[in-house]
């Protein structure tokens, strides 16, 4: 059985109309990917571990129970008695595009590397078959902790998958982000990037320029996601463009990229080629954007 450790943060989600009816659930880019990956792989072929910190509050307990029901292993979910999960609110426009408001500055996940049992978790990372994190996983950490995590990842000798997921509000400035990414990218085997983010952070002239820059940084395999325009897989001089699946009615684009990542990895880690894996990612993303919220009902998100 293969194992993958996904490092990040999950928050309480409020979805609905401000000052009106709000639905409470949860989500977070890496947790979304962990959930959809676990739902779409057999538990005897891939163990999906989520690494984060939660509080001692009832919402934290409820999230852990639901993650385990989805097939996520929580052995490295730390319990922080001094902090609680962050919170975000999704506002949707008429086309399903979303904007977010966040309350996460003192979340438990921000203090992940300060948990008493973190050294044991850090030591365990070298024993996984794959490691996965995002730009948000790095952004939420205090600078010294961020540097320490990158050092651990860079010396783990385990294949790393990285989703850049650039959120400017979480960083001091773009230069801080570029410095952190530049330290990690030479050790990344697979980059699952979004064109809009790459252009905003690096100022690339076009998608091919972004791909070439990532290759020069040392990334061996790249998937550049571009929303309705589809995705491009790149390795060496090889390029494959995979069109997005057509969706007649988009309800909520929250977690579309996270779902793509899960669909891609669900296929790729079980031996599928990159094109088939991208198609799998597109299929899962198309399912998710036809429902509200980051984590949709399990029966709607299983591809097989």
Domain enclosing residue 114, as ranges: 2-10+29-74+109-300
In a domain, 191, yes or no: yes
What is the predicted pLDDT for the residue at 102? 87
Q: What is the DSSP string of 63-77?
A: HHHHHHHTTEE-TTE
Task: From 248, 246, 268, 260, select the one nearest 288 (Cα to Cα).
Answer: 260
In a domain, 81, yes or no: no
pLDDT along the chain (304 residues), means of 10: 97 80 90 98 95 97 97 98 92 68 92 98 98 98 98 97 96 98 98 98 97 98 95 98 93 92 97 97 96 92 90
In a domain, 264, yes or no: yes
Which pTM value belongs to this model? 0.95
Task: From 134, 75, 136, select the one nearest 104 (Cα to Cα).
Answer: 136
> What is the Cβ-side half-sphere exposure of residue 170, based on CA atoms within 13 angstroms?
25
In a domain, 149, yes or no: yes
Residues in the chain: 304
What is the predicted pLDDT for the residue at 100? 77
The secondary structure of residue 127, as a DSSP letter, is G
Task: From 52, 65, 150, 162, select the one nearest 104 (Cα to Cα).
Answer: 52
- Residues recognised as catalytic: 258
Q: How many domains does the chain have?
A: 1
Helix then strand then coil, in percent of the chain rounded to 5, is 40, 25, 35
Which domain CATH number covers 151? 3.40.1190.20
Contact 117, 78 (CB under 8 A): yes
What is the predicted pLDDT for the residue at 202? 98
What is the predicted pLDDT for the residue at 92? 65
What is the predicted pLDDT for the residue at 272? 97
In a domain, 93, yes or no: no
What is the predicted pLDDT for the residue at 89? 86
In a domain, 97, yes or no: no
In a domain, 98, yes or no: no
What is the predicted pLDDT for the residue at 101? 84
H-helix segments, the chain:
29-39, 58-69, 118-124, 135-139, 143-154, 174-184, 195-202, 207-217, 256-268, 274-288, 298-301
In a domain, 17, yes or no: no
């Amino acid at each position: 059985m293969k194992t993958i450790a996904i490092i990040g943060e999950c928050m309480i989600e409020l979805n609905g109309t401000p000052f009106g009816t709000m639905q409470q659930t949860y989500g977070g880019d890496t947790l979304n990917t962990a959930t959809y990956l676990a739902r779409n792989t057999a538990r005897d072929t891939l163990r999906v571990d989520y690494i984060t910190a939660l509080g001692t509050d009832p919402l934290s307990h409820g999230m852990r129970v639901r993650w385990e029901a989805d097939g996520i292993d929580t052995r490295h979910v730390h319990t922080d008695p001094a902090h609680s999960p962050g919170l975000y609110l999704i506002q949707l426009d008429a086309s399903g595009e979303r904007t977010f408001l966040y309350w996460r500055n003192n979340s438990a996940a921000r203090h992940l590397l300060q948990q008493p049992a973190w050294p044991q978790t850090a030591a365990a990372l070298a024993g996984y078959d794959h490691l996965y994190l995002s730009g948000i996983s790095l952004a939420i950490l205090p600078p010294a902790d961020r540097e320490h995590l990158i050092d651990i990842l860079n010396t783990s000798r385990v294949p790393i998958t990285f989703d850049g997921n650039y959120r400017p509000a979480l960083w001091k400035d773009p230069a801080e982000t570029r410095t952190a990414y530049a330290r990690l990218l030479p050790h990344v085997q697979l980059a699952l990037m979004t064109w809009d983010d790459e252009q905003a952070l690096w100022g690339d002239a076009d998608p091919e320029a972004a791909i070439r820059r990532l290759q020069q940084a040392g990334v061996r395999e790249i998937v550049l996601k571009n929303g309705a325009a589809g995705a491009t897989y790149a390795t060496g001089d090889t390029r494959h463009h995979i069109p997005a699946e057509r969706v007649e009615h988009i309800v909520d684009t929250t977690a579309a990229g996270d779902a793509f990542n899960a669909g891609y990895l669900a296929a790729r880690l079980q031996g599928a080629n990159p094109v088939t894996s991208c198609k799998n990612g597109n299929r899962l993303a198309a399912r998710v954007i036809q429902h509200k919220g980051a984590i949709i009902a399990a029966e709607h998100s299983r591809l097989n």
